[in-house]
Chain A
Amino acid sequence: MAQIFHRSTNTLSRVSVFGAVFFIAFLLWLFDAVNRSPYITQQGIARVQPVQFSHQHHVGAIGIDCRYCHTSVEKAAFANIPPTKTCMNCHAQIWNQSPELEPVRESWRTGRSIEWVKVYDLPDYVYFNHSIHVAKGVGCETCHGRIDRMPLVSQHPSLEMSWCLDCHRAPEKYIRPREDVFTMGYVPAGRQEEIGEKLKAEYHIRPTRELTDCWTCHR
């Protein structure tokens, strides 16, 4: 009887049996790598805004406080985007002829809001409240990075759920005194673990069991 398979089939079958394992492992790794890459998470990718507003200039160079524009951050879930009026407080006087700022003046004339592109866009099934984080000593910088060095704002963390849980599982590693919440480039005055533990008790931060309950964020 003639052979059905050529001699090389032996090698082929061995390679394919062993290769399949590595190939599947590679595919799984690839899927995970893409899933965690900025392509999916948008981490570190600056968005194009209707006005090329520079936080680096306004926060870093001029030294405007976060709360001058984001007025509701201490009291509400949403840290508001300032109305055009806030821009015009200064820009009615300075740079009031700049072509860069024409969209601002147009908004001022017509009364139509500037449509800023949201950078930190959490899924709708996540409940997030700025005020509680500010009240418990989470610095702006902790989540938003060095805003004072960003000409255009990009997302500082990955915003993956594991990133949220990093802090919810061990808040003492990240919190700072309330008076330093709005400080950029904060350096703890001592060992973070000790300060964190002390603040955790002082600010009555809930135990991890409660901070990591499903309903804490998914209400």
Chain B
Amino acid sequence: MADAATPTPPAEKPATTTGILAPGYSFTTLTDKIASIALSRRTPFVWFIGAGVGFLLTMMLLTALTWLLFRGIGIWGVNQPVGWGFEIVNFVWWIGIGHAGTLISAILLLLRQPWRNSINRFAEAMTIFAVACAGIYPAFHTGRPWLDYWLIPYPNSMGMWPNFRSPLIWDVFAVSTYATVSLLFWYVGMIPDLATLRDRAKKLWAKIIYGMLAMGWRGSARHWSRYETASLLLAGLATPLVVSVHTVVSFDFAAGIVPGWHATIFPPYFVAGAIYAGFAMVMTLAIPLRKLYGLEDLITMKHLDNMAKILLATGLIVGYGYVVEAFMSYYSGNTYERFMIWNRLHGPYKHAYWALLFCNLVMPQALWFRKVRRSVPWLFVIAMVVNVGMWLERYVIVVVSLSRDFLPSSWGLYKATVFDWATFIGTIGLFLALMFLFIRLLPMISIFEMRAILPEAKVREEEAEA
């Protein structure tokens, strides 16, 4: 490694760029490497397989939703007492996944972490696509999606406002703000790169489309100055969203009096869980992507190592959340709270809870070992396990609590129907399809931000050689 060979790293300038860009790149080769993926005529065969699967699953999603419109939400497994099934589980899961993108693009930007530069673009795309998938669930769970505009407060002929005291309406504001800011951030950050693609495109229609999207960007000093201001402002706007969105989502539960929901630990525990799940998804995407497009030079082991550390740290916070939940249920002395934990461990959904403890608590502990953090297959496996674990967490919170509340006479089990599964797998397909379109048509790594770290990387490279 380069840092081992550097005799005395300058004290005032920490070795932040070390290891995040492989040696030997120039401005031209770096730009070529990233831009050619979007501009190339040749599409890798694997792309067709991935995009094809995503497309077919998206069709399945559309079929399931169309049938839902014909028949109503009775085709789903939700009913009394479990009125929130897969729809809320998947909504929370997808929204959570989005959070890593915002953390990388906003908080790591403000903290001046240059290693974010090669992963922020596709992580932001992941955020937007995840929010799009998430939005489908509450929109259809209302049962009458054509009346969803009632969720928006506007002066209407009914003389009614939404119930502003309900966290569910805060959710509408939180998620729509989140989607808007994320989309703006992603797009504004892409404008200089879109101009690069416009200038390098060979075909006329490509020039026109990229040109329109680039909005007349010429890279003048004034453009850059405005870009810097806009990007800082958006980062400032997005930073509180990393914390606020999932806090509000957690209020959906915490404001209810159901055992297993009514806990003050929920907001921080949900936010940590969101970042945890999000980084797992970023890894799940980054590992195959760098392999498929030979981007190991840009998304290096250092990146994977850093992300693994964040995964470990947030995983520990989530684990702390589980411990506090269990402790509080004992410490409260409340029969229903104590029963809730007993029911999680021994009740009808005990397999989900034990699997969740393994996935989120036990498995990620392997990341303490440097060997594991430096092993791509291990990282991929752990990321997938965490993806599953975080889904199980939401499943346990929603289903276990609702199926066994205060009165045994009102207990009832939840079972997902084929349409629940089709919708869930369908949104994964939609996510894949959007992701594959994105990596084919847009620069999946920020070209200009990578160029920005090149000079410093170059200096370190030469220092290492000297």
A contacts, CB < 8 Å to B: 1, 4-5, 9-10, 13, 35-36, 158, 160-166
Contacts and interface: CB of A to CB of B under 8 A. Distances in A.
Contact of B157 (A5, A13, A161): A161
A112 to B, nearest CB: 38
20 contacts: A1-B199, A4-B198, A4-B207, A4-B208, A4-B211, A5-B208, A5-B211, A13-B215, A35-B157, A160-B157, A160-B159, A161-B159, A161-B160, A162-B159, A162-B160, A163-B159, A164-B159, A165-B158, A165-B160, A166-B159
B207 A165 contact: no
B143 interface: no
Interface string B148-169: 0000000011111000000000
Contacts of B156: 162
Interface centre among B157, B207, B208 (most CB of A within 10 A): B157
Interface string B207-219: 1100100011000
Nearest to A5: B211
Contacts of A166: 159
Nearest to B211: A4
Contacts of B204: 4
A214 to B, nearest CB: 10
Interface string B168-205: 00000000000000000000000000000011000010
Nearest to B199: A1
Contacts of B216: 9-10, 13
A9 B212 CA distance: 10
Contacts of A162: 156-160
A161 B158 contact: yes
Contacts of B198: 4
A207 B207 CA distance: 67
Contacts of A163: 159
Contacts of B207: 4
B208 A158 contact: no
B202 to A, nearest CB: 12
5 tightest A-B contacts by CB? A162-B159, A160-B157, A161-B158, A165-B159, A4-B207
Nearest to A160: B157
B159 A36 contact: no
Nearest to A163: B159
Nearest to B215: A13
A162 B154 CA distance: 13
Interface centre among B159, B160, B199 (most CB of A within 10 A): B159
A30 B414 CA distance: 45
A165 B207 CA distance: 57
Contacts of B199: 1
B164 to A, nearest CB: 15
B301 to A, nearest CB: 40
Given A13-B215, A35-B157, A160-B158, 17 more contacts: A1-B199, A4-B211, A5-B208, A5-B211, A9-B216, A10-B216, A13-B216, A160-B157, A160-B159, A161-B157, A161-B158, A161-B159, A161-B160, A162-B157, A162-B159, A163-B159, A165-B159
